[in-house]
Amino acid sequence: MGWAVRTGITAAIAALGAFAGQDARAANGAYAVDAADISEVGSCKVESWLSTATNADFSAVANPSCVVDPFRPIELSLQTIRARSDGDLSTTVAPKAKTNFIPTGIGRWGLSAYGGGSFDAATGEALTAFAVIPVTFRLSETMRINVNGGWLWDRTVDRHYLTYGIGFDWKFTDTLQWTIEAYGQAGAAEIASVVQPRFQTGVRYRPNEIFSVDVIYGHNITGENANWITIGTTIRFPVHGSEPEHRRTGHL
């Protein structure tokens, strides 16, 4: 086992141990901890996933996004969430914009930033505002560590939270990738699980450059202290005539 494998696995285990006593979802499909990368200008993708919990909560999410270049490359997305929580149904829309400042590379950190908000689709009420800094350190062409730090304003209770996350991605075959992540939000809350750590781990099957599917187990992923199973897909629309993503970037 090489140094990159040892370092990556050690970092992931250490992160989970550090967060196991504590508590904003991002991009990267159904995973919450985002990488610093963005796609090529002109490309688009549609991410979707269905999550169901042991307490009967569920969520169905569609997240289309495209990368444009008005003055610098910016990834624009519009996440739509249909969810049931404590028996109540809701539909939420969350626009977001993300840009990269330092490209990722093997043996060095990459950095990006994104921000956005969410509102109730039925009433138009603003629900949240958020800003996050994702950084990524690539251990090799097949492994990376993602670290997120940010701010969340929950406007429904008028409370501000510090958000955090750390994740580890390992592409262990040509078509399979394993991800493990811990994330959450720190601040005051009436319900303890809202500020307790959240956890997900799953496997992505990506047989080609266009399509991938994820199977994910999670715990407390919305701050409700339940176990979750998520099935997600991503369909990508690359720029016509561009190189495949793994050849263009040299890594997962």
76/79 Cα distance (integer angstroms): 10
Residues 227-251: what's their mean pLDDT?
Answer: 81
Which single residue is written with the structure tokens 């510090």? 162
Q: How far is CA 226 from the centre of its chain?
A: 19
What pLDDT is recorded for position 246?
A: 60
pLDDT of residue 86: 86
For 192, the token pair is 């303890």
What the block records as the tokens of 168 is 């580890």
**pLDDT given for residue 190 in this prediction:** 86
Q: How far is CA 46 from CA 12, 75, 232, in A?
A: 28, 13, 11
Beta carbons of 36 and 42 less than 8 angstroms apart: no
Distance CA 203, CA 174 (A): 13
| Residues 6 or more apart whose Cβ sits within 8 Å of residue 82 | 59, 60, 61, 89, 90, 91
Cα within 13 Å of Cα(15), Cβ side: 24
Closest CA to 56 of 237, 242, 206, 228: 228
Q: Is the pLDDT of residue 22 over 70?
A: no
In the structure, what pLDDT confidence band is assigned to residue 11 with cuts at 50, 70 and 90? very low
State yes or no: pLDDT of 16 exceeds 90.
no
Please say whether the dihedral angle defined by the alpha carbons of residues 190, 183, 77 and 115, taken in this order, is positive or negative.
positive
pLDDT (0 to 100) of residue 2: 53
Mean predicted lDDT score pLDDT of the chain: 88
pLDDT in tens, 60-102: 999 999 999 999 999 999 999 999 988 889 999 999 999 999 9
Query: For the chain, what percent of residues have pLDDT higher than 70?
Result: 85
Say which residue, 229 or 242, is predicted with more confidence: 229
What average pLDDT score do residues 93-121 get? 97
